[in-house]
Amino acid sequence: MSELKVDKELRLENQREKVPSISERARSMQASPLRKLGVLAEERKNKGVKIYYLNIGQPDLPTDPAVFSEIQKREQKTIAYAPSNGMAETLTAWRMYFKNFGIEFTESEMIVTAGGSEAVIFAMCSICDTNDEIIVFEPFYTNYNGFATLANVKLKAVPLSIENGFHLPPANEIEKYITPKTKGILLNNPSNPTGAIYSRKELEGVVQLIKKHNLFLMCDEVYREFAYDAEFISVMDFPEIAQQTILIDSCSKRFNVCGARIGVIASHNKEVIQSSLKFGMARLSVATIEQLAVIPLLTEPQKFTQPIVEEFRKRRDVVYECLKEIPGVTFYKPEGAFYIVIGLPVKDSEHFSKWLIEEFEYENETILLAPAQGFYASPNKGMNEVRLAFMLNVEEMKKCLNILKIALQNYQRKFE
């Protein structure tokens, strides 16, 4: 279905045909704002313009051959359901993975999930009733909105600021967003879309609130290894809130296996894991072959992640250096992950991004960016910001930043 066909039109069409109405929840579900411009990009590509895709976090590097040989090695006569909590070997592999970082989980404290995405949904559903609230920090990973709609929970967004590289405000500021409906805080560290890595002091502030208000702390650490300048500290480093902490993790990014869909929800809180297992039982299991395929990666993670992280560090450095050459942009040095949010000298970054993809070209090439509004829950936030994902090699990233520089000059002459 065309992503541009708006919900209202479809409803009118169905009303004419006297088709029953769909749910409020379905109507309020966001279509991924990151993919909106993708349709226009396809059209432009078909007109012969080369598009550099910097809009989504789909790593371009090849998946390690170890994954494919593992699949071949394990001949399967039948692709059967796996146990709902995950295959025993995969759970052991996750245990070994975490052990590398000094994080101790037993197999019974984890459920293998369909990516980190399902782990977030299980976490929200485990701790929240309808209309309960979860605190997030905006800008945040936009699909948290979709997960919250599915789980029928409300996200309360604490604003962060580009001026300090999107670091967390002091605990007393965050505390203002806590209400009797608040059940937990959802952190994403290192952060998508900002690339921020939270310091021990920042995390201590959050932990203090978790204790004081008796909340859950969910932490999405899917970018754990992508830590360039700052030390990454896991929420599992705070044993005083062990029973209130839920860890969300995934193989997708760190091993370049996004399509394998293997993640995990882990907690020392037995009730949380037991309820996640019940949600897991309802969807029967996670794909069997992929659970086996990631075992070599999880068992010896550094061997696979080191070259990937080094490549992204180079890209981060190049982006940072190139941004210095572009007049009027606001930026900082992202400490981790593989994204940056940039403030542009434009009023409406959505209009600019659309113009880039529909009209602009430099030497028959252009770039696809993600307007940052989609990463904010509050209206009119991030209006002049875009997120850029480091999804191309160093030389191509340089080209892209040059295209951005020239495009901004042209755009300002035309519209500003």
Ligand X SMILES: Cc1ncc(COP(=O)(O)O)c(C=O)c1O
Q: Which of 90, 189, 244, 252 binds ligand X (CB under 6 A)?
A: 252
222: contact with ligand X by CB under 6 A: yes
Binding mask 12-51 for ligand X (x = CB under 6 A): ----------------------------------------
Q: Which of 117, 194, 234, 276 binds ligand X (CB under 6 A)?
A: 117
Q: Does an H or E element contain 247, and which?
A: strand 245-250
Distance in angstroms (rounded) separating the CA atoms of residues 29 and 181: 21
- Segments in 283-348 forming alpha helices (H): 288-293, 295-299, 301-323
Bridge-partner residues for 159, per DSSP?
138
| DSSP reduced 3-state for 197 | coil
Please give the structure tokens belonging to residue 238.
Answer: 């705070």
Stretches 18-26, 37-45, 114-122, 309-317: which one binds ligand X (CB under 6 A)?
A: 114-122
Supply the minimum distance, in Å, between the C-beta of residue 337 and ligand X: 8
Which residues, 6 or more positions from 224, have their beta carbon under 8 angstroms from its beta carbon? 101, 190, 232, 234, 249, 254
Q: Which of 195, 263, 336, 374 binds ligand X (CB under 6 A)?
A: 263
Q: Which of 33, 59, 83, 115 binds ligand X (CB under 6 A)?
A: 115
Q: Which of 258, 287, 392, 394 binds ligand X (CB under 6 A)?
A: 258
Mutual orientation of helices 394-415 and 301-323 as an angle, nearest 10°? 30
| DSSP reduced 3-state for 61 | coil
Supply the minimum distance, in Å, between the C-beta of residue 365 and ligand X: 26
Cα–Cα distances in Å, from 360 out to 50, 69, 406? 11, 44, 10
Supply the minimum distance, in Å, between the C-beta of residue 188 and ligand X: 5
CB of 141 or CB of 355, closer to ligand X: 141
Residue ranges in 50-69 that form contacts with ligand X under rule CB under 6 A: 57
Distance in angstroms (rounded) separating the CA atoms of residues 359 and 357: 6
CB of 259 or CB of 328, closer to ligand X: 259
Residue 114: φ, ψ to 5°: -80, 85
Supply the minimum distance, in Å, between the C-beta of residue 200 and ligand X: 21
142: contact with ligand X by CB under 6 A: no
How long is the chain? 416
CB of 141 or CB of 216, closer to ligand X: 141
| DSSP reduced 3-state for 164 | helix
Q: Which of 33, 116, 195, 382 binds ligand X (CB under 6 A)?
A: 116
Distance in angstroms (rounded) separating the CA atoms of residues 298 and 95: 9
Closest CA to 252 of 2, 67, 19: 67
How many residues of this chain bind ligand X (CB under 6 A)?
13
CB of 294 or CB of 329, closer to ligand X: 294
Supply the minimum distance, in Å, between the C-beta of residue 10 and ligand X: 27
Binding mask 184-203 for ligand X (x = CB under 6 A): ----x---x-----------
DSSP annotation of 74 reads S
Which residues bind to ligand X, rule: CB under 6 A?
57, 115-117, 141, 188, 192, 220, 222, 250, 252, 258, 263
